[in-house]
Amino acid sequence: MTLQNQKLLIIGGSSGMGLALARRALHEGADVTIVGRNEERLARAAADLGAPATLQTIAADMTDEARVAALFARLGTLDHIACTAADIAGAYRLLPELELPAVMRVVESKFIAPLLIAKYGAPVLSSGGSLTFTSGIAAYRPAARGTVVAAINAALEGLVRALAVELAPLRVNAVSPGWVDTSIWQFVAGDRKAEVLGGMAERLPVGRVGRPEDIADAIAFLIGNGFTTGEVLHVEGGHRLA
């Protein structure tokens, strides 16, 4: 199934994996709505995508239940929802350095937001609709400084399986990326970004780190395959093997 004439909501679509998905969906003829918290980033994303008539952007905080409810009431019927948003940079700390506000931002962005998206998004999805969330390799290959992210990724995958049962026949899945070259690495590695990503590329069986388009491809598969639900699709270059 292509995305032609499908109505797709992408939460976190102003950069990285979400932006790559928006580009692909627009190319395939979908009507795309991008939601993010920062209006300036949304405006840059729209310009980068060529600002077609089939694209709209909306600024909203998806951890605020009232705003989530209002958003879905405004949008009306949708075919698919994908969420790539996460606020995790501040939580990459060793335990003695962890600050609770940073921990709660991870919990809110990667668990509470998906829960609210499902609560208010499921009722407006068309027959055959889907929700796709974003987990991550940390749930399977945790490392020092990544305790919180590993735990929340694992919790999100549990949520996906439960939602797939409760919301059936709507389909609910997750994509689990490995190391992908996005802006998050500026916060995680700083000036050592190229060195850190290069080191991982040498370890991976595929010989490179991921690109946002790799994850967009995986989400497009989960959207289009009507026989897949409650699954986690690993797109990580063999990281679990390395």
CATH of the domain at 158: 3.40.50.720
Amino acid 192: pLDDT: 84
CA-to-CA dists, residue 174 to 42, 71, 99, 193, 200, angstroms: 24, 22, 28, 26, 23
What's the confidence (pLDDT) of residue 187? 64
Q: What is the pLDDT of residues 34-58, one digit of tens each?
A: 999 999 999 999 999 999 999 999 9
pLDDT of residue 89: 81
CA-to-CA dists, residue 195 to 76, 80, 207, 241, angstroms: 46, 37, 14, 21
The answer as to whether 103 is a domain residue is yes
The two tokens of residue 189 are 């590695």
Does 168 have pLDDT greater than 70? yes
Give the model confidence (pLDDT) of 210-239 as tens digits.
999 999 999 999 999 999 999 999 999 999
pLDDT tens-digit profile of 95-122? Answer: 999 999 999 999 999 999 999 999 999 9
State residue 97's pLDDT score: 94
Predicted pLDDT of residue 189: 67
**What number is the average pLDDT over the span 123-132?**
97
For residue 197, is it within any domain?
Answer: no
Residue 193 is assigned to a structural domain of this protein: no
Residue 207 resides in a domain: no
Q: Provide mean pLDDT across the span 70-86.
A: 96
What is the rounded average pLDDT of the residues 190-210?
91
pLDDT at 209 over 70: yes
Q: What is the dihedral of CA 183, 186, 189, 192, to 10 degrees?
A: 110
Q: How confident is the model at residue 92 (pLDDT cuts 50, 70, 90)?
A: confident
Instruction: Answer whether residue 198 is part of any domain.
Output: no
User: What mean pLDDT, rounded, does the chain reach?
Assistant: 95
Domain limits at 80?
7-180+212-241
Q: What is the pTM of this model?
A: 0.95
Asked if residue 24 is part of any domain, the answer here is yes
Confirm whether 194 is domain-assigned.
no
Overall number of domains in the chain: 1
In a domain, 191, yes or no: no
Q: Indicate the residue type of 6.
A: Q
